[in-house]
Structure 1
């Protein structure tokens, strides 16, 4: 199989399709959120996506989270919480 064939077949991976769907859904949900919140709160809250993706990888795919990654997830959460206050 050619390199292009390998990359094209990844488009049909259920995780890729699910990821694209979730990304589109998050965009649709972010627009109304942005309409009713100050940008200084709404945009940093979007940073929670990075933390949620890491946790989802751990829960759904069995990926390991290092102590540094867990610390980063907690730091992002605290930062978003502080900006929302």
Structure 2
């Protein structure tokens, strides 16, 4: 069964790389979003099984996006995995 993954990161190169690598497996359909503020709308439209969510984005941080997803009845079932490049 093909899983749907929403990748949210403010760096287009990161979302493109993740999308290409996941779709190459044939197991995933991937949608990308590069603005945290648009992530909830993208999730409503795409209805992903999992969201890969960048922690730090300039317009809306990952924690805030995650809170909005969890507070929405239609989106609260979506699993969230946080990503960060902070070392």
TM-score clears 0.5: no
Question: What TM-score do the two structures reach when normalised by structure 1?
Answer: 0.36
From the two aligned structures, give the one with the greater helix fraction.
1
Question: What TM-score do the two structures reach when normalised by structure 2?
Answer: 0.35
Larger Rg: 1
